[in-house]
Structure 1
Amino acid sequence: MIEIKNLNKKYDQLVVLDDVNLTIKDGAVTALIGPNGAGKSTLLGVVSRLLSQDSGEVFINGIEQKKIKPVDYAKMIAILKQTNQINVNLTVRELVTFGRWPHSKGNLSKIDEEKIDEAIKFMRLKEIENKSINHLSGGQKQRAYIAMIVAQDTKYVLLDEPLNNLDMKYAVDMMLILQNLVKKLGKTVIIVLHDINIAATFADHIVAMKDGKIIKEGSPDEIMDKKTLDYVYDHEFCIAGVNGKKYCIYYQEEEKKVLI
């Protein structure tokens, strides 16, 4: 379990995290939603230790974050950032191998090779494992990067907008894979999403943020609430029910028409 207590961070006078308190439950997909500048990516950065907080604490399974050695932390939490450009010409398998670095330090063991094979198979990349990542489609490349995270074999997987630049087919495919990370491999996934309806469809828990604060958290049914979303996004929403789930219809109140 990840516990975030009284977390604060600012850049100069800009507050990006404002007394954030949150508990991430194990064995679930938790989606962070909110407008640009809400603090979603910064929160992931602090939890992953890529960023330092000004005050507050993060606890991993009851242990204070700062008391865990970096090498041990890398075996507990993996993060995939928004931009993952590697200029070196690597094959898919070579990229996935980097995920084992916290365990192998470059000297791959039999167990490391097995974990790499499992990650490649899980992400359905076996047929292209020897192909250069520079020659992959956007969806294939993103699966390769997530395979690297799977090979790292951490309990917690943090993903910052992994659906960027993916078409609908690949986005849905990616979310199904992430659900399987939880269901089949026992991972806990925390993901930043821009598409509210994707969050409503695939997440178990949603955290809505605005101006560095958590406005509301709960099940998709609880968060897909007009009053909540209108406030979070400063936009007029219409919530519709489809097959037992709630979804957003984006429209302008004054014109009563769907935005295209």
Structure 2
Amino acid sequence: MIRVENLGKSYAGQWVVDLPELELPRGGLTAIIGPNGAGKSTLLSMIARLQSPDRGVVTLDGQDILRIPGDTLARRLTVLRQDNAMAARLTVSDLVGFGRYPYSKGRLTGEDHAKIEESLALVELQPYRHRFLDELSGGQRQRAFIAMVLAQDTEYALFDEPLNSLDIRHAVSVMQLLRRAAEELGKTVVTVLHDLNFAARHSDRIIAMKNGQLQFAGPPHQVIRTVALRDLYGIDLNVSRTDGKLMVDIYG
């Protein structure tokens, strides 16, 4: 379980994250939603230890994340950031192999190669293993980065806006991959999302933030509500159910 207590991060005297308490239970897929500037990515980066909080603590299964040795943390938690640019002349297989660094330190073993192949199969990129990253489409490249995360074989996998700049077909594919990681691989997946319908359809729980603070938390049917989302985003929208599934319609 990931837990934050009195967690705060400020820039220029302004608190961009101000969370007295928040728990992200083990297992399933948690989506973090909210308008721009809500503090979603900053929260994720502090959980991943990419940024240090100005106050408070993040614990991973009861351990202060700042006190966990780096090698140990890298085998328990991984993160895919928005700015996941890599050298274009890396092959897909080379990129995915980086996910095994916490185990092999760059000297890949048979077990490492097996995990790389397993991850490529999960994202359906085996035929592209020898392609360079700049030879892939945007959707294929994003799947390659997800394969790298899966190859790291951690229980906790964090994704910061993984659908950014993807067309609808590739966005659907990526969300299905994250869902499979939670269901079939048993990972605890936490992802920042802007698409409310993807959050409603694929998440087990949703964290809604605004101005650095927690607004709502719970399963989709408790958070994806017309009044709640209108207040969260300040826009005219409506939540309905179609074939038992939540649907968000945005007007204007």
Q: Tell me the TM-score normalized by structure 2.
A: 0.97
Runs (4+) of structure 1 exceeding 3 A deviation are: none
- In structure 2, what is the Cα distance between the partners aligned to 1:134 and 1:92? 10
- In structure 2, what is the Cα distance between the partners aligned to 1:43 and 1:129? 33
| Structure 2 residue aligned with 1:171 | 171
Deviation at 1:17, TM superposition (A): 0.5
Contact 2:92 2:131 in 1 (8 A): yes
- Residue identity in the other structure for 1:151: A
Superposition pairs for residues 53-92 of structure 1, below 5 Å? 53-92=53-92
Deviation at 1:123, TM superposition (A): 1.1
Contact 2:4 2:19 in 1 (8 A): no
SS at match of 2:15: strand
Q: Kindly report the root-mean-square deviation, in angstroms, between the aligned alpha carbons of the 2 structures.
A: 1.0
- In structure 2, what is the Cα distance between the partners aligned to 1:127 and 1:110? 20
Deviation at 1:175, TM superposition (A): 0.8
SS at match of 1:90: coil
| Structure 1 residue aligned with 2:206 | 206
| Structure 2 residue aligned with 1:254 | none
- Residue identity in the other structure for 1:62: G
- Residue identity in the other structure for 1:137: S
- In structure 1, what is the Cα distance between the partners aligned to 2:179 and 2:42? 24
SS at match of 1:239: strand
Deviation at 1:86, TM superposition (A): 1.4
- In structure 1, what is the Cα distance between the partners aligned to 2:246 and 2:122? 30
| 117 and 169 in structure 1: CA distance in 2 versus 1, 3 angstrom threshold | same
| Structure 1 residue aligned with 2:234 | 234
Superposition pairs for residues 1-260 of structure 1, below 5 Å? 1-251=1-251, 259=252
Q: Tell me the TM-score normalized by structure 1.
A: 0.94
Contact 1:40 1:209 in 2 (8 A): yes
Per-residue CA deviation, residues 212-238 of structure 1 (Å, 9 max, x unaligned), is 001001111111112211111111221
- In structure 2, what is the Cα distance between the partners aligned to 1:25 and 1:82? 24
Deviation at 1:185, TM superposition (A): 0.7
Deviation at 1:162, TM superposition (A): 0.5
- In structure 2, what is the Cα distance between the partners aligned to 1:142 and 1:133? 10
- In structure 1, what is the Cα distance between the partners aligned to 2:41 and 2:72? 23
SS at match of 1:51: coil
- Residue identity in the other structure for 1:236: D
**Runs of 5+ consecutive residues of structure 2 not aligned to the other structure:** none
Matched positions, count: 252
Contact 1:221 1:245 in 2 (8 A): no
